[in-house]
Amino acid sequence: MNLAEGVQIISFGVLAVMLIGAALGVVLSSSIVYSAFLLGGVFISIAGMYLLLNADFVAAAQVLIYVGAVNVLILFAIMLVNKRQNFAPFPSAGVRKVLTGVVSIGLFGLLSAMVLATPWAYSTTPVAGESSIVLIGEHFFSDFLLPFELASILLLMAMVGAIILARREYLPDQVSQSTVLTLPERPRELVSAGRDSQE
């Protein structure tokens, strides 16, 4: 083992511990704001994993999109919509916890079987010449142009919907004409008589 492999193994260990710790913090934290901040730590750890795999474009996209956009959007949504309400336990909370545990164990089993069945051997000879950014750009604007544009339209619709939902709280309620209270106008003679009496 040379120095580069040792640094890679130590970096992988640090990132793995950071990733698992932040993910546990997201799930186990009682404060939703802390959970959102720890989710940013999870995204940064995954970006570090991508850097170890020489996927520079995917790591940059992970930081820019997930940390810089999605996580900040989640934080803004939590801080703007966080209403203090009394905790009201659901009557079927135990059944939901059991179902959540069964689904989580099933997903963990499927992922473990996939990890054990996948051949993880890789070739040590690097592919020279083309960068991953060039290849991804070529595929984006040739083979995957339609899904790329549809994803941008979908994100635009989600942003417009979020703005409409956020503005709905500040729109005034529609008041019918029958409930509008108006003061009757005073005749001018009374107004002038009131001024004369004050003088």
Which residue's structure tokens are 């999870």?
42
Radius of gyration of the chain (CA): 30
Arithmetic mean of pLDDT, 157-178? 66
The strand ranges marked E within 43-152 are none
pLDDT in tens, 75-134: 777 777 655 556 566 677 788 888 988 999 999 999 999 999 988 776 555 555 567 778
Secondary structure (DSSP) of 142-186: TTTHHHHHHHHHHHHHHHHHHHHHHHHTTSPPP--GGG---PPPP
Secondary structure (DSSP) of 18-34: HHHHHHHHHHH-S-HHH
Per-residue pLDDT at 24 exceeds 70:
yes
Closest by CA to 43, choosing from 18, 66, 75, 16, is 66
What is the percent of the chain where pLDDT is above 90? 21
pTM of the model: 0.56
User: Has domain 1-83 been given CATH number 1.10.1200.10?
Assistant: no
Per-residue pLDDT at 157 exceeds 60:
yes
Going by C-beta distance under 8 Å and a sequence separation of 6 or more, which residues neighbour residue 40? 67, 71
What pLDDT is recorded for position 174? Answer: 55
Using CA atoms, how far apart are residues 43 and 67, in angstroms rounded to an integer? 6
Would you list the domain boundaries of the chain?
Answer: 1-83, 130-170
